[in-house]
Amino acid sequence: MKVLHVINSLRAGGAEKLLEDLLPRMNGRDGVQTDALLLTDEGNVFDKNLIEAGIPIYVVPLKSVYNPLNIIYLRRYVLKHKYDIVHVHLFPASYWVAIATRSILTWKPKLVLTEHSTHNKRREKWYLRGLEKFVYSTYDNVASVSKQVQENLISWLNPADKSKFFVIENGVDIEKFAQVEPYKKNDICDSFSDDTKLICMVARFTESKDQATVIKAMLDLPQDVHLLLIGEGPLKGMCQDLVIKLNLSDRVHFLGFREDVPRILRSADIMVLSSNWEGFGLAAIEGMAAGKPVVASDVPGLRQVVFGAGVLFKSSDSKDLSIKLLELLENRQLYEKISRMCVERAKSYDIQRTVGEYVALYRSIIE
């Protein structure tokens, strides 16, 4: 069974990270052969493991994700390689593949789309609903990464047939985060000591994330508490300006994109994920797998992952966040209890389960 995964790029992001973990484990399983097709290779960071695993990676030569001519190239790739299934991630790749395959008259692959977020700007424009219904109707199956993502999507589309909508939750390489050796804290920064308390957030600096609330919460935390922000993105500069404005430059550290996230999480004391909206919250599971208590904003997509294991705080409320963080830092018994519950929760999101569910979905489509 030949399966092509199409995505905008392999830059730092949750959907892109999922493909990095998913494809090498999927390739060769139950006769599945996986390829990847990118609309651009600009900013790629998650292609190294795919290349090492022998996954073919094709790049559309236009190098622009929003160029409608992508349709022509996508159609050529699909016809040339005769894929059984084309599995698509993210907008606008989802649009271009839908249009490209509709123009294939004699033979068509089965189409799968993974919905990764509970919200996007297109849903703020009522006049796009008809176009969205047209695009999603092209796909044979739509897999949402969480129940909340599925519910929000169905509410937006209001499809006549809901039977093709499924939930396949994201997964994490649990062992990689649980077993990796942590850094000594002063290996991360010379000014850190063993007594320094480290709070870590791993996320792109985009509208869906909310690093600003975590930065503001630092004002109400002791001086020995430091914040590590891992990631890049268009709003990073704004957050750096906020840190300067609040005189927190000596306690908030921008580490950029890192390939050693598992080691850093193992070295941190608490993992925070502050989001305005979220599809699933892969980073929260990574923090849990690393054995750390996870504190996350109470928003759809994160709530179901964290509730009953980690700690939820009111979205955009820095005061509530600082209270929750301080309670964990000062109450060792509570800290260890939440850590244990997070480790157990992470076990439910092993990447091998995700692989198995997708392969089973593929089989159900073509058999």
pLDDT at residue 355 in the model: 97
Tens digits of per-residue pLDDT, 217-258? 999 999 999 999 999 999 999 999 999 999 999 999 999 999
Q: Map out the domains of the chain with their CATH numbers.
A: 2-171+350-366 (3.40.50.2000), 174-348 (3.40.50.2000)
pTM of the complete model: 0.90
Residue type (1 letter), 80: K
- Which residues of the chain are modeled with pLDDT < 50? none
Q: Are 144 and 153 in contact, with CB atoms under 8 Å apart? A: yes
- Write out the E strands in the chain: 2-7, 33-38, 57-59, 85-89, 110-115, 141-144, 165-167, 197-202, 225-230, 252-256, 270-273, 294-297, 311-313
Q: In Å, what is the CA distance from 253 to each residue of 15, 40, 362?
A: 25, 30, 43
pLDDT at residue 63 in the model: 87
pLDDT at residue 301 in the model: 84
Residue type (1 letter), 298: D
pLDDT at residue 115 in the model: 97
